[in-house]
Structure 1
Amino acid sequence: MSVAIFGLSVDSSFMPDMSRLFSLLHSQGEKIYLYQPFFNSIKDRCDKMPEIEGFFTFGYELPESTRFLISIGGDGTLLKSMLTLKNKSLPVIGINTGRLGFLSAVSRNHIDEAIRYLLTEQYDIEERSVLQFDDGVELFGDFNYALNEITVTKMDSSSMINIHTYLNDEYLTTYWADGVIISTPTGSTAYSLSVGGPILTPDSKSFIITPIAPHNLTMRPIVVPDDNKITLMVEGRGQQFLCSLDSRSEAVNFPGKVVVSKANFSVKTVKLPGHGFFSTLRNKLMWGTDRRN
């Protein structure tokens, strides 16, 4: 069987953990496929580089025997792995080398345990919904999808923008604000959370529409069923506004139209025993650590 390993760049202090990960997989007879740019980044710094079965740059280059993909880094790295896999159906697990990490929930201290669970198939698969972006001009090429959120915001130097919002062509409201975030349940703990949006469990069949610094203080986040088509008509005083799909951003001329809907595929993430969504919330947000509790 085969395992794919994806990463961008890791600190030298993580190299012993990388060596341990490689050794664990190799000792169990797993064939290792490495993301080529990641291999170039670590090959001169990793003490125990195992025999590599092959390399990949895109998901379609991986053999059918590949069981899962291990993402090394933070949540941003895991999101970028989705661009590499595109819509290839392959479970992804993230080993966190950074700080927060809601998606990359396995810490470096639990690598051995995580690999043991993976190789003995003691895990569940979570299907995470994906957002699809359409502006009529293929602004983001042939992969116009986001796992966390799609965001429309003003440019740095411009005034607030008007975002006329429709659900299935029915008018909802006009946000006069710095922007609007449309978030998946996965993205509910990302940008949306930082501006006051609610937390949704990964299996929620909903999207969140969260205004960013609205001029009208009565504007609040709203949760809508994920079978809604969300249309944003964007106007403003400046020349352009910004559209973002997770970590990718492009400028769009005023006036602009953006249509957001649920993609026809989902992203599979691995859930290990003891690493459920609620335990992750407690650990990452430090719930219950107040001594008064």
Structure 2
Amino acid sequence: MDENLLKIKPKSEGDNRAVAIACRLDSPKALKVVQFITDYLLARKEKISYETRISSKFIRHFAKNLEDMTIHNTKFLISVGGDGTVLRIAHNLPKVDPPLILGVNLGSVGFLDESDADPKILKKDLDKVLKGEFFIETASRLSTFIGKHKLPLALNEVLIISSKPSKVLYTSIEIDQSYFTSSYLDGLIVSTHTGSSAYALSAGGCLMDPRLNGFEIVPLNPSASTGVFRPLIVPDFAEVTIKLERARLNGLVIIDGQAEYKVSPQVSIKISRSDSEIRFIRFKENVLGYFKRVREKILFSRNIIENSIDN
């Protein structure tokens, strides 16, 4: 069995941890789905907690900040939205012992999501989770330092771009303190295997099998004048150091599209794997679920997938 996908048993009847719910606030559909989930859980006498910012919509129940949700007080966390919602949630969860995440997709790509807003599908999936009939997929995160300043962890990618859109960067890259290359380019993406299906893929990177322990460096529009620079996969124990070499041209470091930080020329940006991981609820063992999501959500649309492929 893949070490990143582990079957777990349901907790004992004495488990009084809450099922947490977070969602988009700008979507009436998301709030409607949360109400459906609420009714479902109450009918099964489950304790519920809501992310604080949506709790006012559901006054009867307990509010909790994402920063305070852990496996010790939360059975699992239901994310209602899309990939952006999952990234926002992961950005705010604690680094130590964050709860399991079940993503519920509202209709966008939702590559990180496992369930669907359709009531029949969602009810069936929630039944499975409460019975312990699921697997856990662990997703690594990236640790980033600008000089001595530590940034939030990245689940998908660290993006480095120019602070002036009309100006290209000139960057140097070292891997484990060994010089790799210098190049003029629009930016750089350093991606986890989770993020390899997102911005990195759109920028010409490759999909990374989740069984690979590594991360990917993807250049954005590198100039041919400074040599051929193609995406590179490095082992997850490597440390990547990036410097902006053009004087008076600052850059921006953007974490999962959630937060951005200014970086000055010649200041080291160091990126490596973090010990902190995010864990997702999945219903298929090994990589079956991963490649199913790739087929349905990236390679093809759902309506042209033959049923026989999934059986």
Q: TM-score range by the shorter chain?
A: 0.7 to 0.9
> 2:12 matched to which residue of 1?
none
Alpha-carbon distance in 2 for matches of 1:189, 1:166: 25
The answer to whether the Cα contact below 8 Å between 1:96 and 1:107 also exists between their aligned partners in 2 is yes
Provide the C-alpha distance between the structure 2 equivalents of 1:27 and 1:131, rounded to a whole number of angstroms: 40
Aligned partner of 1:104 in structure 2 is 113
Match status 1:178 vs 2:179: no
User: What one-letter code is carried by the residue in structure 2 that aligns with 1:280?
Assistant: R
1:221 aligns to 2:231 (yes or no): yes
Q: Counterpart in 2 of 1:19?
A: 35
Residues 219, 230 of structure 2: 8 Å contact kept: yes
Give the CA deviation at 1:175. Answer: 2.4
CA gap of 1:190–1:32, structure 2 versus 1, over 3 A, is same
**Residues 265-280 of structure 1 mapped to structure 2, 5 A cutoff:** 265-273=276-284, 276-280=289-293
Kept after mapping to 1: 8 A contact 2:147/2:267: no
Query: Displacement, 1:61?
Result: 5.5
Q: Quick one: structure 1 residues 12 and 290, their matched pair in 2 at CA, closer, same or farther if it must change by over 3 Å?
A: closer
2:156 to 140, 148, 151: 148
Question: Does the 8 A contact of 2:157 with 2:192 survive in 1?
Answer: yes
Match of 1:35 among 39, 43, 51: 51
Q: Is 1:230 paired with 2:236?
A: no
Aligned to 1:118: 129
Match 1:94 to one of 98, 103, 108: 103
Matched residue SS, 2:115: coil
Greater Cα offset, 227-236 or 212-221: 212-221
Q: For residue 46 of structure 1, what is the aligned residue in structure 2?
A: none
- Equivalent-residue separation in structure 1 for 2:71 and 2:45 (angstroms): 16
Give the letter for the 1:186 counterpart: T
Shift of 1:63: 7.9
| Aligned-partner residue type, residue 229 of structure 2 | M
1:260 aligns with 2:271: yes
Asked if 1:189 corresponds to 2:200, the answer is no
Measured at CA, do residues 16 and 233 of structure 1 come closer, stay the same or move farther in structure 2, by a change above 3 Å?
A: closer
Shift of 1:234: 1.2
Conserved 8 A contact 2:79-2:86:
yes
Distance change (3 Å), C-alpha of 1:146 and 1:71? same
Q: Contact 1:160 / 1:236 at 8 angstroms: preserved in 2?
A: no
Does structure 1 residue 163 correspond to structure 2 residue 179?
A: no
**Structure-1 separation of matches of 2:129 and 2:59:** 19
Give secondary structure in 1 for the equivalent of 2:205. Answer: coil
Opposite residue 38 of structure 2, the aligned amino acid is F
Q: Which runs of 5+ in 1 are unaligned?
A: 44-48
Q: Return the alpha-carbon distance in structure 2 between the equivalents of residues 269 and 57 of structure 1.
A: 19
- One-letter code aligned to 1:128: A
Specify the alignment match of 1:82 in structure 2. 90
| Cα pair 2:30 2:80 within 8 Å, conserved | no
1:221, 1:147 → 2: CA distance? 19
Residues 62 and 129 of structure 1, relative CA distance in 2, 3 Å threshold: closer
Q: CA deviation at 1:238?
A: 4.5
Q: Name the SS for the 2:179 alignment partner.
A: strand
The 2-side partners of 1:63 and 1:264 are apart by 17
- 2:211 and 2:71 mapped to 1: Cα distance? 29
Q: Following the alignment from structure 1 to structure 2, what is the Cα–Cα distance between the partners of residues 232 and 61?
A: 34
Identical counterparts, % of pairs: 26
* Structure 1 residues 61 and 167: alpha-carbon distance in aligned structure 2, compared to 1, 3 A threshold: closer
Paired with 1:98 and 1:37, the residues of 2 have a C-alpha distance of 22
Task: Tell me by how many angstroms 1:191 deviates.
Answer: 0.8
3-state DSSP of counterpart to 2:263: strand
Note the residue ranges of structure 2 that are not aligned, 5 or more in a row: 1-15, 307-311
Match for residue 136 of structure 1 among 147, 157, 169? 147
- TM-score, reference length from structure 1: 0.88
> How much does 1:237 deviate?
5.1
Q: Secondary structure at the match of 1:200?
A: coil
> Contact 1:22/1:50 (CA < 8 Å) preserved in 2?
no
Q: Which residue of 1 aligns with 2:20?
A: 4
Between the aligned partners of 1:120 and 1:30, the Cα distance in structure 2 is: 13
Structure 1 position 139, deviation (Å): 6.1
Q: CA RMSD in A?
A: 2.3
**Superposition deviation, residue 204 in structure 1:** 1.8
